[in-house]
Amino acid sequence: MGMLIAAAAVFLGIHLLVAGTRARDAVTGTIGENAYLGLFSLASLGGIVWLVVAYNGAQAGGENELVYDLGVGVRHLAPLVVLLAFLLAVPGLLLPNPTSVRQEGAATRADAVKGVLAITRHPFLWGVALWAAMHLLANGDTASVLFFGTFLVLALLGTFSIDAKRRRKLGAAWDGFAARTSNLPFAALASGRAKLKWREILDWRLAVAVVLYLALLFGHQSLMGVSPFATG
């Protein structure tokens, strides 16, 4: 379990204490944006691999105790909630979005707020948050709490971290984009700052999300060794 705790701490650290702070600005000022992104990508990939390996080891170890069990009813909800996560995350990755890597210029586009960006300017991270939260509710063992809790914390805090980073870099361009969107899902829609256009939602990006979701749903048993369909 100690290895999983260490992996989680390092993974959170490189994202929240470096990537989203002025430390990143200092590093990029020294080695350049391209070098930083290359090193950060390698560190992130290494962190994820370490987390997965440590998680599998912790689950097999004798220290992995059941902290809570919310019942089979919660697990029945998992496929639906994860579908919603995919419908946010995948289109969010495929849309031009100022919160994404190397897409800062999208903030000045006349159509910058379209599709799922009208729901939240961080669709990918909120999709990850939904995925992690659902798995956290459905899996109450210590290893799962640490593993999925790490991704939930990173996804939620990451939205604020990215906002601050973009505000420093883009200034007024970011303020204009942020004024028309919201971090919290549906907040901009509720306040009238954004308008949801279904023709922008029901497009090829949604189809890609559904295909990827179905592939993972029916391949979950083979890939993860656990069925996504609750029994009982």
pLDDT by residue for the chain (232 residues), tens only, comes to: 999 999 999 999 999 988 878 888 888 888 988 898 999 999 999 999 999 999 999 988 888 999 999 999 898 999 999 999 999 999 999 999 999 988 999 999 888 999 999 999 999 999 999 999 999 999 999 999 999 999 999 999 999 999 999 999 999 999 999 999 999 999 999 999 999 999 999 999 999 999 999 999 999 888 888 888 876 5
Total residue count of the chain as it appears in this document: 232
